[in-house]
Each structure stands twice: as structure tokens, then as C-alpha cells.
A and B are shown apart, each in its own frame.
Chain A
Amino acid sequence: QITLKESGPTLVRPTQTLTLTCTFSGFSLSTSGVGVGWVRQPPGEAPEWLALIYWNDDKRYSPFLKSRLTIAMGTSKNQVVLTMTNMDPVDTATYYCAHKYDIWSSYWYYFDYWGQGTLVTVSS
């Protein structure tokens, strides 16, 4: 059974750096074709993809936010960490981590499992 869970601060001050952790179970990020991504969703708006890390430690970022994002495997083999610098109130959103897998080891794919999300508010 695949599960993912996001953790991190609920409140961040403007200009600060946000660090979120995705802790997952039921799969291994070292399996070819597996990826873990981050998606955010401002209140009442559509989801927006942020970043993906793959089984081979390759990474991809949203071109609009690339300069502010870093995705990496965590200290535990079942964790992925996302950092976003220079937070602004417009970054207030629910942040989700999600799983992808395909047998062709594609980079671009849909997400089949999602965490419940964590709401991050940016405010002074």
C-alpha cells in the first residue's frame, strides 16, 4: 500500500525559506520509473506542479519557479525534501507530494498516489 505524508511549518514569514518533507511508504525511490513530485494548490485555485525527483536522482523543476526550488532525497531513504526560498504571501497554498511510476521510466507522467497535503500560510 502506497502512502505519502507531507510535513513542515504551517506558517512562514515573507522572505523566509520553506522546507517541506514528504515521508512515503509502499515503494522505493530507487526503483526504475519511480518519481516523487510536489504540487501546490492555492485556496480555490488549480494545482500547480513544482518539482520532481526520479529514481536516478535526476530532478526537474517548474520553469516559473526553478530559481527558488530545490528537491532532494532526505536523510532517510523514504523521504523527499523540497525547499522554496524567498517565500511571499502569494505562495500560500496546500502543498502536496505525489507518486508516479511507469514501466518505461518516463520523466513526464501522471500522479497516481497523493498525500493529504499541508497548508502553508505566508504572512508576517
Chain B
Amino acid sequence: DIVMTQSPDSLAVSLGERATINCKSSQTVFYSSNNRNYLAWYQQKPGQPPKLLISWASTRESGVPDRFSGSGSGTEFTLTISSLQAEDVAVYYCQQYYTTLTFGGGTKVEIK
């Protein structure tokens, strides 16, 4: 199985500042035949299910604010919130779908 490792476990960021979350996979999730990274990011607020933010490592879902962006390829990925808003307080998970489905351990984002 592909193991997904996120860092940090938690971070506190001031409103309006940048938040950066890292995700590393134990093997590549890049499929060369279609040039795609099989990596998604979810946001989960307390008492709610995960919400899909980004697929294919960098494609934002419809309705997701453009302050959220994803980058990376192969085994290393990043979710960036360019200007943290109060409603962005949540736990963020990466998930690979290259083979079976595995999630990272999560990163809790709080306001400093």
C-alpha cells in the first residue's frame, strides 16, 4: 500500500497569512501515460464529512476559493492557502488514488 505522510500535524497561522501543508507518498502517484498525479486534497470541519478541494494534485473543484492551490508531482505535494480566512480552520487531508485509496494523517489548521 502507498503510505501518505503529512506535515506538520498542526499549524497556527495569522489571518491573512499563508498556510502551507505538505504531503509525501511512499511511492510515486504520477502516471506517466496520462501525465497526471493521482492526488486529492480534502478539507474537514468538525462534525462534517471531508469536502473535496483539489483533485489531480492541482485542479480546484468548482466553488473552491482560489486562495486554495495545490502543487507538486511524483511523491511530494503541497496545499497552500494563500491568505488564511477564519472559515478555513479545519483539518486537511491528502489522499492518493493511484492504487487502492489511502489518506494522509491530516494537518490541523488554526488561527494564531
Contacts and interface: CB of A to CB of B under 8 A. Distances in A.
Asked if A pairs with B, the answer is: yes
Interface of A: 37, 46-49, 52, 60, 62-64, 96, 98, 108-112, 114-117
Interface of B: 1, 38, 40, 48-52, 55, 61, 93, 95, 97-106
A115 B104 CA distance: 20
A47 B93 contact: yes
Contacts, number: 47
Contact of A111 (B52, B99, B104): B52
B109 to A, nearest CB: 15
B52 A110 contact: yes
Given A46-B104, A110-B40, A96 B93 contact: no
Nearest to B94: A46
Contacts of A114: 49-51
A116 B49 contact: yes
